[in-house]
Structure 1
Amino acid sequence: MRNRAVDWWVGIFVLLGIAALAVLAFRVGNLSGFQYGEGYVLHADFNNVGSLKVRSPVKLGGVTVGEVTGIRIDPKTFQAEVSMRIEPQLKLPVDTGASIYTQGLLGEQYIALQPGGMPQDLKPGGTITLTQSAVNIDQLIGQMVFSKAEGGSGSSGSGSGASAIPNPPGQ
């Protein structure tokens, strides 16, 4: 009888562990977010979207107000065109800016909106023209290493005219 009770508790514990892992997987995969079935679509063109994905959040002041619904390459400009669905009650000015940021340890990327001050609102299907692309960490590190190497070789050159080794006495 006692073995049977222990078996039940172990089974319940295993099921709770599996449920916790499933919830974690949905959160990491951004699959549990609110579905924006209603709302209006806006577009924004970026030079580099990094690892932005469909269903990534769109935030305004840290609050999720929409989601990315599509990413494609514009064949004329060769820029990434991002489509996003925004909550229907949120009206954004025509001079709104959009930036791609990274949050958290896992590096989830999202679009952050910065509303402007113009009295006219973006129409559904409109395009946000003020954009800032994703930061490429590899490129930044490469630039930093290159600038350090370039700066280090320039300061040790013989163009300064001053010698670090003093002349021996009597010469």
Structure 2
Amino acid sequence: MKAKIVRLFLFSAIMSIFFVQYASSQSTRNDVIGIIDIRLIMQKLSVVQDINVQVKSLEEKIKAEFKERESKLKTEKDQIERQKVLVTPKIYAQKQKEFNLKAKGFRREIDEKSRRLQQARAIALTDVRESMIPLAQVIMNKYGATVVFDQNEILFADQSLDLTPEVIEELNKKLSKVVVKMLPLKKS
């Protein structure tokens, strides 16, 4: 019984020393918190604005291409309708079926190009985010920040902790142009 009490006392003494040392080391540490607003950064970066311009330009080219093809499809449909009285019902039905397949393929192509364009935009923005992290980290190190939070995840914070303007300024200086590239269609 005495041995148990002695062991318990020694264990308590050792743990007390450990906790005192841990608490004293924590009290001398100067943690600095930094806050950045990622959403604002992504809105204000010149490279992101350029990506948006590139995407808009690609959208307009695609729309122009599809508008021209849509016009041709409408002309073809009108020709089929005019032939309705001139050809047999079987031939008309066959032409109608072929046209419907062509129109369905056209709609599928529109959907596919739209999806690929959004995918290209997402890839370009991912490239920006990946480039942004090391540059933002340099700024955070400059201030000695040990923890950085996204402003959109915080309810209240002192404005002096917000390093967003400096991050935007540095990133605008250092991030190069990102080209939006549409991935080729996959062959099925």
Greater radius of gyration (CA): 2
Instruction: Using CA pairs under 8 Å that are at least 6 residues apart, name the structure with larger relative contact order, 1 or 2.
Output: 2
More strand by share: 1
More helix by share: 2
- The TM-score normalised by the length of structure 2 is 0.24
